[in-house]
Amino acid sequence: MAGADGARKRKSEALSAESSDDSHNPWHAEDHYEASSANLRRLLVCILVDDAGWSVSEACELAHVPRSTFNSGNWLKKFRNAKASNEDAFEAVLHENRGGARAGSTKMSPHTKKVVVDAARRGVPVGEMVAVQEEYFEETGQDGREPAGPRAVQRALLSEDMEYVRDGRPPLVQTPWSARWRLEFSNEWLPRFTEEPALLRKTLFSDEKKFALYKTKGGRWAPAEILTHHGARCVAREEEMTDQQYKDWRAAHKGEVLPTDKSRGIYPIFVWGAVGYNMKSKLFVLEEKEKLTAKRYAAILADNENGLAEMVTRNADKLGGDGLYAMDNDVKHSTPESLAVLKGLGLSLLASRRWNEAGDAPDRQAAHFGHLKTYDGFYFPTYSPDINQPIEKVWAEVQRRVLRRVGDIKSRADMIQVVRQEWNELEFDKSDRWCGINYLVMQTPDVLEEVIAQDGFDTSFMK
């Protein structure tokens, strides 16, 4: 490609120009001290960027210097500052710094240490600690002071008994009362499922789910016509576009990049469904932009065409008039209207009472909008997607299959059709695609055992 040849030619010419001038060549300057190979490569990047007009990416690629390391070391700034103040710019970059790439000062004053520690306690990420110090120095009139590097920051935080925690999903069960409820639920239902294995085969697990097209964590998905540099293809490279051609193409495709989170996904639909051992409901799809209300939820349960009532009627021989129904702790679920529908369908709740710490009265804890709520009744425990995993993992499997068919989805109607097809084709038994619905249902005792082993806190089934 012409662009690549031009870049290589420009690099060659710049190197020739640099090497012809010994006054600015660190390899030929006898008055310069010994420098490591890494420092020489770092200096080369500074010269190419500042004197030859290269981009940092190009220079780092040529010199075999990781761009993130070069940027985090702030070497270009040091190089330019030294030149501006008539200091030795080579020395500013070639000086061997064993305190870390950015560690201009390896020690930290007590005041700076306090600023860093306070920032860490507020949850400021490690990568922003240099900026925290620079802001502090600017506020206190110490503009020329060099911030401490990563190792100095690490030592300061370790001295305050702090630990480094990688970003990730925080524990779902955070409070002792939520853990206690999950533990009480598991202690009540595990013996029943163990003594009556047939009871699990009469249990229905239900939930609602939003489907949409969006970028997933493990990769990027896009309909066939959404061809951007954010997707799997690099259009500018494949089409050998000039600058203006790419600008025109980008303007024509503006807004076609998939959102990075599901809440803003394309062609969203909201559905209700339920599964059991060799049982699966029809998929109930809410109207576009319709919000699920308590009244609407009760109507879904009573629906004889696509709702729970249709599922119960179709599987009457399996449920035997005394099945169990699991639904999460959403406040819209446990209304008198919904409970009356479930009773009329011959279903009992898979639920338990929530007791206080002493175990002698219903628990009373903050609920929605901060109001205290007395849990005097039977409910499904909060923060328990692991216990409700048959439907939760069914949703995850449907979502994976839908995202593999993004090329078939060009409208909301297409999304509904694809989701319905994948839902209807879900296997009950183990297949080469996944473990099957029946396996997830019969795994419930294993989940309850681990809940008990973890004293009600998070289990491995939440992953």
Instruction: Note the pLDDT tens digit of each residue in 65-114.
Output: 887 778 777 888 888 888 877 777 777 676 644 333 333 445 678 888 88
Backbone angles phi, psi at 227, to 5 degrees: -115, 90
Q: Residue 406: which of 209, 227, 208, 207 has the closest Cα?
A: 227
CB 209 within 8 A of CB 395: yes
**Same structural domain, 58 and 204:** no
- The structural domain count of the chain equals 2
Instruction: Note the pLDDT tens digit of each residue in 154-177.
Output: 888 888 877 766 556 678 888 888
**Same structural domain, 301 and 443:** yes
Instruction: Note the pLDDT tens digit of each residue in 285-295.
Output: 999 988 899 99
Domain extent at residue 280: 176-221+258-462
Residue 24 CB neighbour total at 10 angstroms: 15
Pick from 50, 68, 94: which residue ends a domain?
Answer: 94
Instruction: Note the pLDDT tens digit of each residue in 347-376.
Output: 999 999 888 888 777 777 665 555 566 677
Better-predicted residue by pLDDT, 260 or 126: 126
Is 149 inside any structural domain? Answer: no
**Same structural domain, 210 and 316:** yes
**Same structural domain, 51 and 194:** no
Cα–Cα distance for residue pair 161/182, rounded to 1 Å = 32
pTM for this structure? 0.60
The amino acid at 46: C
Better-predicted residue by pLDDT, 441 or 248: 441
Pick from 77, 94, 111: which residue ends a domain?
Answer: 94
**Same structural domain, 194 and 329:** yes
Is 142 inside any structural domain? Answer: no
Is 405 inside any structural domain? Answer: yes
Whether 17 shows a pLDDT value over 70: the answer reads no
User: At 450, which CATH number?
Assistant: 3.30.420.10
The angle subtended at Cα 148 by Cα 147 and Cα 152, nearest 5°, is: 170
Backbone angles phi, psi at 209, to 5 degrees: -150, 140
**Same structural domain, 63 and 207:** no
Is 424 inside any structural domain? Answer: yes
By residue count, the chain amounts to 463
**Same structural domain, 90 and 206:** no
**Same structural domain, 183 and 83:** no
> Residue range 174-181: average pLDDT?
86
Is 151 inside any structural domain? Answer: no
**Same structural domain, 359 and 265:** yes
Cα–Cα distance for residue pair 286/263, rounded to 1 Å = 16
Tokens (6 digits) for 325: 């129904």
* Residue recorded with tokens 């401490």: 148
Q: Give how far the C-alpha of residue 9 lies from the chain's centroid of Cα atoms, to the nearest Å.
A: 42
Least confident of 62-71, 138-147, 199-208, 250-259: 250-259
Better-predicted residue by pLDDT, 356 or 191: 191
CB 214 within 8 A of CB 265: yes
CB 263 within 8 A of CB 427: no
CB 60 within 8 A of CB 68: no
**Same structural domain, 58 and 202:** no
Pick from 72, 94, 116: which residue ends a domain?
Answer: 94
Is 84 inside any structural domain? Answer: yes
Residue 367 CB neighbour total at 10 angstroms: 14
**Same structural domain, 81 and 182:** no
Cα–Cα distance for residue pair 222/334, rounded to 1 Å = 39
Whether 346 shows a pLDDT value over 90: the answer reads yes
**Same structural domain, 82 and 186:** no
Question: What dihedral do alpha carbons 155, 161, 167, 169 form, nearest 10°?
Answer: 170
Q: At what angle do helices 2-19 and 37-50 cross, to 10 degrees?
A: 110
State the pLDDT at residue 359: 78
Is 114 inside any structural domain? Answer: no
Is 48 inside any structural domain? Answer: yes
Better-predicted residue by pLDDT, 253 or 340: 340
Q: Work out whether strand 203-213 and strand 323-326 pair parallel, antiparallel, or are unpaired.
A: parallel
State the pLDDT at residue 133: 85
